[in-house]
Amino acid sequence: MWQELLKDIQQGNVKSLARSISLVENEVEGYELFLQGLPPSSTKIMGITGPPGAGKSTLVDALIGEMVLQHKKIGVVCVDPSSPFNLGALLGDRIRMSEWYNHPDVFIRSLATRGSLGGLHPKIIEIADVMKTAGFDHIIIETVGVGQSEIEIAGLADTTVVVVVPEAGDEVQTMKAGLMEIADVFVVNKADRPGADAFVKNLRMMLAPAFHRSTAEIAIVKTVASQKEGIKELFKKILAHQQLVQTTDRKYWLLAEKAYHLIQQHRMADINKTELKKQVQEMGDGNLYQFIRKYQ
């Protein structure tokens, strides 16, 4: 079954792609061998992250439009944190990207994070790698930047795009440090709002090499996603960065990041907190450091 699936995916069968993603998501028997049989792929992943409501989905919708115009095939994964609003978010994305759900060159899949608040989907690395075998020209992963997820997306995407909106002009400093550090490309969306130019200026100052880890210049693009303004420019900057990635050691950094996450997941697989609580209770007043020795 799995071999058949892989062949179909490689031939561009999106039903098989959707099915195999579900099988991997649910850890259906054989999925690990399936993953071990995935051929190498050089398809690049762009991660789009930023605070809730910044306009990420609207931006992705507009980016898809630009890519379709250039006759590209696009795979999109939207990761929504599980919350009472989750269903709303999924429906919202369906409306925002409705034009693309049935387009032959576009594949969109929404995933819920299943409780790991702020985290990415537990199988996102694997799902991204399955997507990479399907022959897309571009793969986009949208995640909400809350908590640790922004760091994780940086370890997953070849290019990380951070979407922010102009708030009171000079308060860039209050922006979450995590977001500042991972951006390869900054998008200042909702540039139709007052204060956008001042915000961009401040951002640029903060990103000046003296203040920032990176020596490479980080692009800042102003957009009005809802009007599709600035999208061409953004796409250009993303492609330019992807070109750069290929020639630096970032590629190996990424692979090491992914390997780290996968190993961590594997090692922790048989440990769960309910079980731990039971055992700790049995231990009573014993010594915790002796207790955890069997896990080392």
Ligand X SMILES: Nc1nc2c(ncn2[C@@H]2O[C@H](COP(=O)(O)OP(=O)(O)OP(=O)(O)O)[C@@H](O)[C@H]2O)c(=O)[nH]1
User: Under the criterion CB under 5 A, does residue 143 sit at the interface with Mg ion?
Assistant: no
* Helices and strands, number each (H, E), in the chain: 14, 7
Write the CB contacts of 177 (distance below 8 Å, at least 6 apart in sequence). Answer: none
- Rounded Cα–Cα distance for residues 149 and 47 (Å): 11
User: Under the criterion CB under 6 A, does residue 55 sit at the interface with ligand X?
Assistant: yes
User: Under the criterion CB under 6 A, does residue 41 sit at the interface with ligand X?
Assistant: no
The only residue of 54, 63, 106, 220 in contact with ligand X, by rule CB under 6 A: 54
CB-based burial label for 157 (10 Å; 0-12, 13-18, 19+) = buried
Which C-beta is closer to Mg ion: that of 56 or that of 222?
56
- Rounded Cα–Cα distance for residues 207 and 217 (Å): 8
**Tokens found for residue 214:** 């990176």
- Rounded Cα–Cα distance for residues 43 and 132 (Å): 6
The only residue of 56, 121, 132, 222 in contact with ligand X, by rule CB under 6 A: 56
User: Under the criterion CB under 5 A, does residue 57 sit at the interface with Mg ion?
Assistant: yes
Scanning 20-28, 188-196, 205-213, 267-275 for contacts with ligand X by CB under 6 A, the matching segment is 188-196
- Rounded Cα–Cα distance for residues 260 and 279 (Å): 28
Write the CB contacts of 85 (distance below 8 Å, at least 6 apart in sequence). Answer: none
The only residue of 139, 224, 231, 234 in contact with ligand X, by rule CB under 6 A: 224
Interactions with ligand X, residue window 120-149 (CB under 6 A): 144
Report, in Å, the least distance between residue 35 CB and ligand X. Answer: 28
Scanning 7-15, 49-57, 216-224, 252-260 for contacts with Mg ion by CB under 5 A, the matching segment is 49-57
Question: Which partner from the list ligand X, Mg ion, none does 224 bind, CB cut-off 5 to 8 Å by kind?
Answer: ligand X
Residue numbers of the site for ligand X (CB under 6 A)? 52-58, 89, 92, 96, 144, 189-190, 192, 224-226
